[in-house]
Structure 1
Amino acid sequence: KIIIDSSSGNAGIAYSMIGNSLGYKVEIVIPGNASLERKQRMKAHGTNIIETDPIEGYDEALRHVHKLVDANPDKYFLCDQYANDNNWLSHYHGTAEEIINQMSDEFEYFVGGIGTGGSITGIGRKLKEKYPNIKIHGIRPEIWPGIEGLKPLGSPEDIIPKILDESVVDEWIYVTADEAKHYCQILAKQGIFVGQSSGCYIAACSKLMEKIDCGRIVTILNDFGDRYFSAGLWS
């Protein structure tokens, strides 16, 4: 079968690297406004890309991949990252444990965004088990132009990822694309070259710092800045 899923680009790169190297064909459904660098990277691995209407965002890519699989169930293996429990479990057993091991003691806040919902669900569940008093802050990016890789979840028609556990989120922080870009550029001048979602996380941390008197804040930087030259992040 052909490995298929919808992706904003980064999971698609992982599918492309691993799937093609193991001899499988890979198809990724991706919003048309995803950055050129990510599309080129997937194609370089041998992946076939199917683009959807950029105005409709990630949800349209998700709807389209399910239409393809429903019409050709014997042709495709759907990884289904938005509904696959192995997604959040990998963060519960992996990413969260890395955070706990790297932090020598209890900390008070974790800040994270929502793409598939896997990271904030897995990390949030593990951290709340380990540190019952911790506060988990989720990020709500502006709807348009949006922040690549993150879902705003601000409209009734938005598709809520099946694996997302919103109960782990104690408060929401709102971040604009301009704020995310601003912090990407600040980080770059410090030698940390990250993508838009990571800049968004640091912007959210900065806003949280303005609200609290003390405490340690943890977040994650999970994308490379060189995937966004064509998207105008560095112009």
Structure 2
Amino acid sequence: MQTLTIDSTLEKRLHQVSQLIGNTPLVALDRVYKNPKVQILAKLEWQQLGGSVKARPAFNIIKQAILHGQLDQNRVLLDASSGNTGIAYGAVGAALGIQVALCLPENASKERKMILRAHGVDIVYTPATELTDGAQIKAKELHAQNPDLYFYADQYANPHNWQAHYAHTAPEIIEQTQGEITHFVAGLGTSGTFMGTSRRLKEYNPGIEIVSLQPDSPMHGLEGWKHMETAIVPQFYDDSLADKNLEVSTFDAYELIKEVAQKEGLLISPSAAANLAGAIALADTIEEGTIVTMFPDSADKYSEVLKQVFN
């Protein structure tokens, strides 16, 4: 695909926005998990534009679409999301003057809906019972009905999703751990974070153990996660990449939200807590090592969950 020459003002804006993506801190969780020989580290992914790990793929998808002539200020970016990717699209789109339309499950948190509206995103709600799968189906229908209006980003199949993590997330982890990472643990949703980061880490050191996490039930409370056996599997997901697969319960994740808040001073989301639960489960099985996981977002958009946890 040929790269086009773009307007100098838009090119400048792309560069400015790129400075707000990635380079998130890596912190040690040594009060929640105490073992002098096993260290658990987490990337605080909410500390970037859009407030979540989804800033990385959203920006890369938009940037590549602009550079290849697929998206401009006269077309609407369309996709399906459980919320975080949509918010990232909205934030990046607002900064670049790109309109965004999003198919969103109607049970998304009120905070996510409010943030999306604040960024000027056009929201099409889909049934809560259909989760993000239903949102995907609706987005494809809308694009088929009006292909000239919409650029369908399709985060579940777009290679620029996982490539954002391959190019940036993994190198950051290698640098921040001074190459001492021994295990990488992450939950599966679109699977972009897991696929891109894991591929680059394996290239750096094939001995790094890669562990994927899934909900322990199709009916779970981990927004953005997929129970792969019962969900529409993302096109670029490769189940052979993981060295090990673990299941995480929503209950265990919710319990960790409180513990992390009280021992580490961090208010984390259910998906971040689920990643930590998986990392702890793994840590209990090894004698020594440096485990890295992701905290995709904070608890800012989960008031209903916080009520359950802290009341």
Give the Cα separation in 2 of the matches to 1:215 and 1:146.
30
Q: Which has more radius of gyration?
A: 2
Give the Cα separation in 2 of the matches to 1:168 and 1:108.
16
- Is there any run of 5+ residues in structure 1 with no aligned partner, and where? none
Within the candidate set 177, 182, 186, 1:112 is matched to 186
Matched, 1:167 2:240: yes
- Is there any run of 5+ residues in structure 2 with no aligned partner, and where? 1-74
Where 1:219 maps in the other structure, the secondary structure is strand
* Count of residues in Structure 1 that have an aligned counterpart in Structure 2: 233
Q: Which moved further from structure 2: 122-131 or 102-111?
A: 102-111
**2:200 alignment counterpart:** 126
Where 1:115 maps in the other structure, the secondary structure is coil
The two structures have a TM-score, normalised by structure 2, of 0.72
Give the Cα separation in 2 of the matches to 1:209 and 1:24.
44
Q: Which moved further from structure 2: 206-215 or 94-103?
A: 206-215
For 1:197-216, what aligned pairs fall within 5 Å after superposition?
Answer: 197-216=271-290
**2:224 alignment counterpart:** 149
Matched, 1:12 2:86: yes
Say if 1:82 and 1:162, in contact at 8 Å, map to a contact too.
yes
Give the Cα separation in 2 of the matches to 1:77 and 1:55.
26
CA RMSD across the alignment: 1.4
Look up the equivalent residue of 2:96 and give its one-letter code: L
Shift of 1:119: 0.7
Q: Percent identity?
A: 38
Change (3 A) 1:110 1:15: same
Where 1:3 maps in the other structure, the secondary structure is strand
Within the candidate set 28, 47, 52, 2:126 is matched to 52
Say if 1:88 and 1:122, in contact at 8 Å, map to a contact too.
yes
Say if 2:218 and 2:227, in contact at 8 Å, map to a contact too.
yes
RCO greater where, 1 or 2, for CA within 8 Å and sep 6 or more?
2
Give the Cα separation in 2 of the matches to 1:45 and 1:150.
24
Give the Cα separation in 2 of the matches to 1:32 and 1:107.
39
Matched, 1:3 2:3: no
Shift of 1:169: 0.8
**1:178 alignment counterpart:** 251
